[in-house]
Amino acid sequence: MLDFIMEDEFTLIMIKPDAVKRGHTGAILKRIEEEGFRIRGMKYVSLTKAQAEMFYIVHKERPFFGELTQFMASGFIVAAVLERTNAVAHWRKVIGATDPAEAEDGTIRKLFAASKGENAVHGSDSRENAKLETSFFFNALELV
């Protein structure tokens, strides 16, 4: 299942609780369209702490794991599968560095993120993780 998500054409993104709470969802979705992404699946959800821990399991030994998973469970998020040429790398470029203080002008994190932890958006960092993260949120029926 989800084997069609094999090429560099797909990535999994989230609009994180801070950006949803501050009313930046529309602006970020507009940017997604302006950057030439096609939305292949999208949902508005809230994660429990346990679900956030599952999503970010690769970071479980990091000092910020508790803070991160608490934050990700603190409000609604938008999760979406985006399609575009070179999707993973392009989205990482559009969102900017993890810490908004280090993000380039015009990037989503520079525009909308408050801090390194509460940094507005997520983007898969590889094709393999895009696939794993997509299967965390979506089944085949939920992707167009």
Given the rule CB under 6 A, which residues bind ligand IDP?
59, 64, 67-68, 98, 116-117, 119, 122, 125
> Are 109 and 97 in contact, with CB atoms under 8 Å apart?
yes
**In the complex, least distance from residue 1 CB atom to ligand IDP, rounded to whole angstroms:** 25
**In the complex, least distance from residue 58 CB atom to ligand IDP, rounded to whole angstroms:** 8
- DSSP per-residue codes, 13-34: EEE-HHHHHTT-HHHHHHHHHH
- Distance separating alpha carbons of residues 128 and 17, to the nearest angstrom: 25
**Token pair belonging to 115:** 């801090």
The interface mask with Mg ion, positions 99-138, x = CB under 5 A, is: --------------------------x-------------
- Distance separating alpha carbons of residues 71 and 118, to the nearest angstrom: 7
Q: Annotated catalytic, 24? A: no
Closer by beta carbon to Mg ion, 35 or else 125: 125
**In the complex, least distance from residue 82 CB atom to ligand IDP, rounded to whole angstroms:** 16
Helix, strand, coil abundance in the chain, percent, nearest 5: 45, 20, 40
Catalytic residue among 24, 59, 90, 122: 122
Positions in the binding site for Mg ion (CB under 5 A): 125
